[in-house]
Structure 1
């Protein structure tokens, strides 16, 4: 899908049909015709368009005579049968002397905020500021998703305390995997941010310095939170693994103890049931004596096992 936007004098974002100077060209999983149309109009290399469409592409900063390419990982949500899963996807940001281009393999909420005109102080022709605004929203989205992961972790812990089920454990594994993706992407984005600061190709006005500082604050906070939550969920998984192992051991001890207590009456009755002469044979009192022996020795065994905390 190819969409072109441009801000008017009032700051409103309007959709246009031509590749005018100061416009924002937004590509979402474009067809080859759409990609070739943008390449022909902007004179940028083909790799600038096609590389960000590869979901395995790593964040990087690349400079060419026709413009700059910045690829950053953006978080998004995947709905699966086992629960919600968080992942990242490459977003290409291309800055030329005339246009601002974004390329991604799917629609992102981060860019919908800009195209919907929901942000103040946003102009499509302020290309450097646009870059910093996107990076700020990307870092903010990491923080938002990390808070959601934290709340979901608390919910799963409460559910696991009530009942140990495989479903909750699988969801914790998905969250752990999501945090690994977040940490990897944030570290890669960190290198891109460093290159953006050092490059003179992006003009940084006085107002942009504060915005760029906010970007770094949000990014560093997201990295710290991702690392903390990753450590927490790893320790939680280890703890619940130990709890499950202890529960299994307790059940095995309990079953072994019950087996011992139940086997004692069987042994006694088996001895008196042999085809040999035994005391009180044929007498009514013999039944009650044997029954009393069963109760006594079974109770004694149960008491000893209870004192040793087998029950």
Structure 2
């Protein structure tokens, strides 16, 4: 579906959501959008990138935003933008359609001293807040698991949740790193001599803010990943300690229970044994058991096994 309106007096905005065949025909005929751009816009695995389209005198920009998908591997999805001096075309899906609201807010705020590049950088700043919210959401989930670790209430459920959090952070960090490099590249570009007369002071201020925000987000995501990895290591250490403690108890029991088995096995054989013909022989056999168990317990204690 295609939606059109003016962002500023000099910049038109075209929003394309869930592009259809009829949309492709309209974009091709009315806006000279090529099949290559369509492929970028529909590729949900496209990495953040910037490319100049000479035939349109426009820039193709792909950047990642937080999606509304519940799937971990789709925590961030690409959004494609075709940007020129007079026009911005935005390609979204149902999972990223909310980005259009940020453009609508720009229209309501009546930006005057800003170019299409400045609008892109303002959107980047808005997107950064979504990443911060997602990081805080993941951090809250990790904190809950961390509290259960402190109480030593570890179950398979928590282990699975922690694994999913680590996977989610990996996808998130990939998107953050891609956006940060994209903005750094754009920052160098808009400050070059070629763009000196095409961008305003406000544009420069907006790109600087966006770069600073994503640099902080990058550090936040890396820190969250490090803390989660350490929590995972603590999980593993605790589980190993629990396993070792269980094996220790089982070893002690197996050693202790082997003594009665050995003694009763000897006295159960059809051979001559000392005091086997006495009425109190069972007391004698019990004494051998207690002595054997006592020797093993003393030896285990001496070796600090207990």
The equivalences for 1:125-204 within 5 A come to: 127-160=116-149, 162-197=152-187, 198-199=189-190, 200=195, 203-204=198-199
Higher strand share: 1
The equivalences for 1:49-60 within 5 A come to: 49-60=38-49
Q: 2: CA distance between counterparts of 1:302 and 1:245?
A: 25
Q: 2: CA distance between counterparts of 1:294 and 1:119?
A: 90
Structure 1 residues 78, 292: closer, same or farther in 2, change over 3 A?
farther
Which residue of 60, 70, 74 maps to 1:79?
A: 70
Show the counterpart of 1:4.
Answer: 4
Q: 1: CA distance between counterparts of 2:299 and 2:259?
A: 14
Does the aligned pair in 1 maintain the 2:76–2:172 contact within 8 Å? Answer: yes
Q: Do structure 1's residue 257 and structure 2's residue 252 form an aligned pair?
A: yes
Structure 1 residues 203, 182: closer, same or farther in 2, change over 3 A?
farther
Does the aligned pair in 2 maintain the 1:196–1:202 contact within 8 Å? Answer: no
Show the counterpart of 1:225.
Answer: 220
Q: Do structure 1's residue 299 and structure 2's residue 294 form an aligned pair?
A: yes
After TM superposition, the score normalised by the length of structure 1 is 0.82
Q: Do structure 1's residue 39 and structure 2's residue 33 form an aligned pair?
A: no
Q: 1: CA distance between counterparts of 2:128 and 2:20?
A: 29
Q: Give the match's secondary structure for 2:275.
A: coil
Q: Would you identify which runs of 4 or more consecutive aligned residues in structure 1 move more than 4 Å?
A: 115-120, 122-126
Question: What is the aligned-residue RMSD (CA, Å)?
Answer: 3.0
Does the aligned pair in 2 maintain the 1:42–1:99 contact within 8 Å? Answer: no
Show the counterpart of 2:237.
Answer: 242
Show the counterpart of 2:83.
Answer: 95
Show the counterpart of 2:60.
Answer: 69
1:102 CA drift (Å) = 0.8
Q: 1: CA distance between counterparts of 2:35 and 2:209?
A: 33
1:34-68 Cα deviation digits (max 9, x unpaired):
12212322234332333122012121112234222
Q: 1: CA distance between counterparts of 2:254 and 2:211?
A: 64
Q: 2: CA distance between counterparts of 1:217 and 1:87?
A: 22
Gaps of 5+ in 2: none
Q: 2: CA distance between counterparts of 1:46 and 1:310?
A: 72
Equivalent residues, number: 297
Show the counterpart of 2:305.
Answer: 310
Show the counterpart of 1:108.
Answer: 96
Q: 2: CA distance between counterparts of 1:2 and 1:251?
A: 64
Q: 1: CA distance between counterparts of 2:8 and 2:203?
A: 21
Structure 1 residues 5, 170: closer, same or farther in 2, change over 3 A?
farther
After TM superposition, the score normalised by the length of structure 2 is 0.83
Q: 1: CA distance between counterparts of 2:117 and 2:34?
A: 20
1:44-98 Cα deviation digits (max 9, x unpaired):
4332333122012121112234222111112225425xxx666221111222343
Structure 1 residues 310, 293: closer, same or farther in 2, change over 3 A?
same
1:188-234 Cα deviation digits (max 9, x unpaired):
22332133221429943233333322211111001111222222223
